Amino acid sequence: MTKGKKTDGLMRHLRDNKGMDIQGSRHKKELLQMGYYHGYKGYRFTKQRTNPIPMTEFEQLKAIYDFDMNLKSLLYPHIMAIETALKNYTIDTLVSYGSLDLEYAFKNFLLDYKSEPVGSRNYNNKMKDRLTLRKKVDNEISFKFPKNDIVSHFLRGDTMPLWAVFEILDMGNFGLFLKCLNQPIRIENCSNLKLTHASIVNDGNLVQEIIFTLKELRNSVAHNNVIFDCRFVGGTHAMNSVKAYVSVEVVVPNIEFKFLIDYFILIVLLLKKLGYNKTELKRIIKEFKEETEKLRLVVPVSICNRINGTNLNTKLTCLNNYI
Residue 8 lies in a domain: no
Q: What is the pLDDT of residue 235?
A: 58
298 lies in some domain: yes
Q: Is residue 29 part of a domain?
A: no
Contacts 24+ apart (CB under 8 A), 160-168: 160/101, 160/102, 161/100, 161/101, 161/102, 162/91, 162/94, 162/100, 162/101, 162/102, 162/105, 163/87, 163/91, 163/100, 165/102, 165/137, 165/141, 166/87, 166/90, 166/91, 168/140, 168/141, 168/144
Residue-level pLDDT at 166: 96
Q: Is the pTM of this model over 0.75?
A: yes
pLDDT at 119: 96
**Mind listing the pLDDT tens digit for each residue in 121-160?**
999 999 999 999 999 999 999 998 888 898 888 887 677 8
In a domain, 46, yes or no: no
Mean pLDDT estimate for the chain = 94
Please report whether residue 14 resides in a domain: no
Residue 38's pLDDT is 86
The stretch 44-70 carries a mean pLDDT of: 93
Alpha-carbon gap, residue 188 to 202, rounded angstroms: 10
Q: How confident is the model at residue 228 (pLDDT cuts 50, 70, 90)?
A: very high
- Contact (CB, 8 A) for 186 and 193: no
Whether residue 31 is contained in a domain is answered as no
Q: How many folded domains does the chain comprise?
A: 1
Task: Establish if 158 belongs to a structural domain.
Answer: yes
pLDDT digits (tens, 9 = 90+) for 280-307: 999 999 999 999 999 999 999 999 999 9
pLDDT class of 5 with cuts at 50, 70, 90: confident
Average pLDDT over residues 187-214: 95
For residues 215 and 235, what is the distance between their CA atoms, to the nearest angstrom? Answer: 13
Range of the domain at 267: 61-322
**Does residue 84 lie within any of the structural domains?**
yes
148-162, 175-189, 206-220, 274-288: least confident range: 148-162
**Which of the given ranges, 116-125, 156-165, 192-201, has the highest pLDDT on average?**
116-125
